[in-house]
Structures are given as C-alpha cells and as structure tokens.
Amino acid sequence: MFTNGISEIKFMLNKEKQKAVCLSFQNIGEYVKNISEELKDLYSDVEWVEIYGFRNIVAHEYSKIKMSQVWQMVQEDLPHLKSDIENILRNL
C-alpha cells in the first residue's frame, strides 16, 4: 500500500513512507500477539515469533533498523504473509 508504484530509491529517500511502513509492521506484530496459540500451532509454518520480534524492534529500537532490510521484507516477506493470512481466513 505505502510502497505501491515506488522504487527502492524513492522509498529510501522518503522518511514518511519509511515510518508508515514500519508502523504497519508494528501493527502486524500487535495483531499477531493476539492470535490464539492453537491457531499459531495449526499454522506453524508462519513465522509468528519473527513477526512479533520485528514488532519489538520497530517499537523499541527504531534507530537500529536498516531501511534496505525493511524494503526487502516488503518485497519478499509481506507477499508470503499476505498469502498465508488469506489461506488461514479461507479455512476458518
């Protein structure tokens, strides 16, 4: 959403987009925290611990985040997470 149609270079130069994306990752982590352990166990291939762990980094260690890694996560990890979540919702 925040990165649709922009290049990595534009993302790297746009602090507002960086903050918006990081806040979105933080929100995703908060949502993950509220998912039942039973559902997490049922879909153990989803990296629940890592998702919440990144939430903690965004919330408490923002200055240590490398935006190149955030860009990579947006491009590579989020599409997989979206697919996983869509699959989970279809099966509920």
Task: Decide: 70 and 25 in contact? Cβ < 8 Å.
Answer: yes
CA distances (Å), 44 to each of 16, 50, 52, 67, 72, in order?
34, 12, 14, 28, 23
Asked if 21 and 66 touch (Cβ cutoff 8 Å), the reply is no
25, 48, 55, 71: which is the annotated catalytic residue? 55
Which candidate in 60, 64, 66, 90 is catalytic? 60
Annotated active-site residue 60? The verdict is yes
Q: Is 90 a catalytic residue?
A: no
Determine what percent of the chain falls in helix, strand and coil, rounding each to the nearest 5: 80, 0, 20
Q: Which residues are catalytic?
A: 55, 60
